[in-house]
Amino acid sequence: MDAVVMAVSRSATHSLAKPNQQSIRLSAGLGVEDDAHQGVTVKHRSRVRRDPTQPNLRQVHLIHAELHEELRAAGFAVSPGQMGENITTRGVDLLHLPVGARLHLGAAVVEVTGLRNPCAQLDRIQPGLMAATLGRDESGNLVRKAGIMGIVISGGEVRPGDPIRVEFPPEPHRRLAAV
């Protein structure tokens, strides 16, 4: 299956859910235009409280549609944008991309910075949702499944139906960690 953008979402306020849009515009070095998390420095409120001068490694949040399907099969009512993501993808194994991988999405390029650390806000959507986005691998290590974060390298418009091309960084690859 070809990799594709399934939905794009944004919210100008710090709400968890982000309404779906016909398109979003990404700005290099800033993030999603008209989104509360756009900026050079951190915009997530918990991070701003700790250190508002930190670089914003969470300009764009991506979740794979396959996670939505897994969660629906487990009894959760989730849809694109509801878990706070800006871009919902299909056909890309987001969680296993290395740090520095570049996603060519429509006219824009997003560089992967790390994993989203699921937060308790997810339980406001439906009790137990946060726990459902966490798992354990065969070695017992914590697996965060709530998507990935990135920064905008090259701006442009992104729409549902846009193809996704993955560009891997030079080896050795570094595994994603929570950012």
Residue 58 binned pLDDT confidence (cut-offs 50, 70, 90): very high
Distance, in Å, from the CA atom of 16 to the CA atom of 152, rounded to the nearest integer, reads 21
Distance of alpha carbon 16 from the chain centroid: 13
Residue type, 68: H
137-150 exposure pattern, b = at least 16 Cβ within 10 A, e = fewer: eeeeeeebbbbbbb
Q: Does the structure show a pLDDT above 90 at 44?
A: no
Domains of the chain: 4-167 (2.40.33.20)
Distance, in Å, from the CA atom of 106 to the CA atom of 30, rounded to the nearest integer, reads 17
Distance, in Å, from the CA atom of 174 to the CA atom of 44, rounded to the nearest integer, reads 24
Of 26, 18, 28, which is closest to residue 153 (Cα–Cα)?
28
Q: Which residue blocks in 51-169 are alpha helix, DSSP H?
A: 65-73, 122-125, 129-132
pLDDT (0 to 100) of residue 111:
98
Residue 119 binned pLDDT confidence (cut-offs 50, 70, 90): confident
Cβ neighbours around 57 below 10 Å, total: 15
Place of tokens 């691998």: 137
Average the pLDDT over 25-50 and give the result.
94
Distance, in Å, from the CA atom of 87 to the CA atom of 105, rounded to the nearest integer, reads 9
pLDDT (0 to 100) of residue 47:
86
Average the pLDDT over 109-127 and give the result.
94
Average the pLDDT over 58-66 and give the result.
98
What SS3 state is found at 94? helix
What SS3 state is found at 25? strand
- Higher pLDDT pick, 60 / 49: 60
Tokens of 113: 């910075």
What SS3 state is found at 59? coil
